[in-house]
Amino acid sequence: MKRENIRRIAVFTSGGDAPGMNAAVRAVVRTAAWNKLHVYGIERGYEGMIDGHFKRMERRDVANIIQRGGTVLRTARSMRFMTPEGRAMAADHLKAYDIDACIAIGGNGTFTGAKVFSEEYDIPFIGVPGTIDNDLYGTDYTIGFDTAVNTAIEAVDKIRDTADSHNRLFFVEVMGRHSGYIALHTAIGSGASSVLIPEAETNIEDLKTVLRKNKARGKLFSVIVVAEGHHLGGAAGVSALIKDELASMEPKVTVIGHLQRGGAPTALDRVLASRLGHHAVNRLLEGEENVAIGIVNDNIFTCPFEESITKQKQPREALIRMASILAI
């Protein structure tokens, strides 16, 4: 769709919330207003699109939200949107509000829905990567990742105090059902003794050997960071496998959980979200559509939804190796 044909756009957040989503919404609304576009916010993602929960948004509506966690547009996971009937209802509401194009802020599921929907109804979409997992192909970083890592590191720092005081072994579970990015960066940033992620096989005997060596050389405590999706069953599963042999270290399990999703976004996430939201509008007006916008080597790039959804983004082997070396 040509620039001159785009008059009204809609923006929404979908899937899991991520700190910085509000900054992205703010950037979309204000960049659109600068270009004399009408902007509508859709509440609760695809669910709100199906139910017709649209609201006009002006510059003043996004004042004082850049520092807030969560999403002012709220979010949801929509089973109805996965059906042809649900998407038809969503298309009817977009037509009723004369929406020419959409900007979807979310993760893999959000982009999958956008791809299918745009192909069925010929509505241009731009995806903005908002997920704490940092697992989307086509961008070095996703909105919310930096804040989640900082939250996890703060928690691990506090756990280290207790581990040191009581000479104990702690298994700390962070989010990452299919991705080890949060775990890897948290482990490096907190100086953890080891990190277990879904992308790397873990030999439990090797882990036991590391812990025994740590104890033999006088290291009185250890903190192991585990991604929730690790194949041995997260922190609880790993702890159960070593508990009998290393009972003297009194293994403890801490699950940080949804604390990682909340809180004010870091400066890095605010700037990243602002850049991606701003350029999403610009790329839409330049004629790009059905792509995810991202940042690679500090430059803005776009990636077709098909690639963003299907291609796997893996943590760098060099970073995994470095984490192992620094933990010695």
Catalytic positions: 133
Model pTM score: 0.94
Instruction: Please write the tens of the pLDDT for every residue from 47-77.
Output: 999 999 999 999 999 999 999 999 999 999 8
Other Cβ atoms less than 10 A from the Cβ of 248: the count is 9
Nearest-angstrom CA–CA distance, 147 and 268 = 8
Distances (CA, A) of 186 to 15, 146, 189, 323: 23, 10, 5, 10
Instruction: Tell me what pLDDT residue 156 has.
Output: 94
According to the model, what pLDDT value does residue 282 have? Answer: 97
- Residue 244 is predicted with a pLDDT of 73
Burial class (CB in 10 A: 0-12, 13-18, 19+), 2: exposed
Q: What does each C-alpha distance from 44 to 54, 73, 74, 75, 193 come to in angstroms?
A: 10, 6, 5, 4, 41
Beta carbons within 8 Å of 79's beta carbon, 6+ residues apart:
none
Q: How far is CA 104 from CA 75, 249, 263, 325, in A?
A: 11, 48, 22, 40
pLDDT at 43 (0 to 100): 97
Q: How many other C-beta atoms are found inside a 10 Å radius of the C-beta of residue 310?
A: 11
- By the 10 Å C-beta count (0-12 exposed, 13-18 middle, 19+ buried), 77 is classed as middle
Measured CA to CA in angstroms, residue 38 lies from 6, 17, 222 at distances of 9, 25, 55
Q: How far is CA 288 from the centre of its chain?
A: 24
What is the per-residue pLDDT for 162? 80
User: What is residue 219's predicted lDDT score, i.e. its pLDDT?
Assistant: 64
Residues of the chain with pLDDT under 70: 1-4, 166-167, 217-221, 245-248
Residue 203 has what pLDDT?
Answer: 81
Residues 6+ apart with CB under 8 A from 175: 132, 133, 148, 182, 227, 228, 256, 257, 260, 261
Q: CA nearest 313: which of 162, 138, 166, 122? A: 138
